[in-house]
């Protein structure tokens, strides 16, 4: 079909994790291409005046229950990490850096980060835990640290986040099929329908 679905995400978003578990299959069934678009959710929130649902107690409680329902529906594990929400700056720079410098490793990196955060519920705010997750997925920790310190990679994440905001993104995950925007992993059926048209 030649359709494309763009997936704007941040590793700190449990809804992005759930979308990540489903979008490859949705794209494959539609004969479409999945394009992963890392962005810094904190930057999006700052630019748009939005905030994490966990900042509102009642909404945070509802979201936790709703995410668990969807994880059960999808048949995937969901374990919230301690000290949630987590600062994902290094992880997201890593995502941009992998796409820029080591694109063949990006999918493995993305899966490792999402799994560490929300399948295993690791404390990725702890540098030792983060390093262990990288090493366990087969990445050289020193090389990763050099990658995320690269000024071009840093600017790449800034540019990606600015592009997301310019296109109307206000949270994660956000998917685009052409110019049609879909926000939230609970809208994946609309993504599938858009790809089928």
Positions marked active-site: 13
Give the strand order in the sheet containing 174-177.
33-38, 4-9, 174-177, 180-183
Gap between the Cα atoms of 192 and 172, Å rounded: 18
Gap between the Cα atoms of 187 and 170, Å rounded: 15
Which residue in this structure is represented by tokens 């983060």?
130
**Closest listed residue to residue 11, CA positions, set 113, 81, 90:** 113
Gap between the Cα atoms of 11 and 39, Å rounded: 9
**Closest listed residue to residue 19, CA positions, set 173, 180, 191:** 173
Residues 6+ apart with CB under 8 A from 75: none
């Amino acid at each position: 079909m030649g359709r494309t679905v763009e997936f704007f995400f941040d590793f700190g978003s449990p809804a992005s994790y759930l979308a990540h578990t489903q979008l490859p299959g949705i794209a494959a069934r539609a004969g479409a291409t999945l394009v992963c678009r890392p962005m810094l959710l904190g930057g999006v929130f700052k630019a748009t005046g939005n905030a994490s649902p966990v900042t509102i107690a009642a909404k945070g409680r509802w979201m936790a229950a709703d995410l668990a329902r969807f994880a059960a529906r999808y048949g995937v594990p969901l374990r919230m990490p301690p000290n949630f929400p987590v600062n994902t700056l290094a992880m997201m720079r890593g995502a941009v850096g992998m796409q820029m410098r080591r694109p063949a490793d990006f999918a493995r990196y993305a899966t490792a980060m999402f799994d560490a955060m929300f399948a295993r519920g690791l404390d990725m705010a702890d540098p030792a835990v983060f390093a262990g997750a990288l090493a366990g997925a087969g990445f050289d920790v020193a090389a990763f640290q050099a990658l995320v310190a690269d000024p071009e990679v840093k600017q790449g994440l800034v540019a990606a986040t600015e592009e997301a905001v310019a296109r109307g993104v206000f949270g994660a995950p956000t998917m685009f099929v052409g110019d049609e925007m879909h926000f939230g992993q609970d809208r994946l059926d609309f993504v599938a329908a858009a790809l089928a048209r």
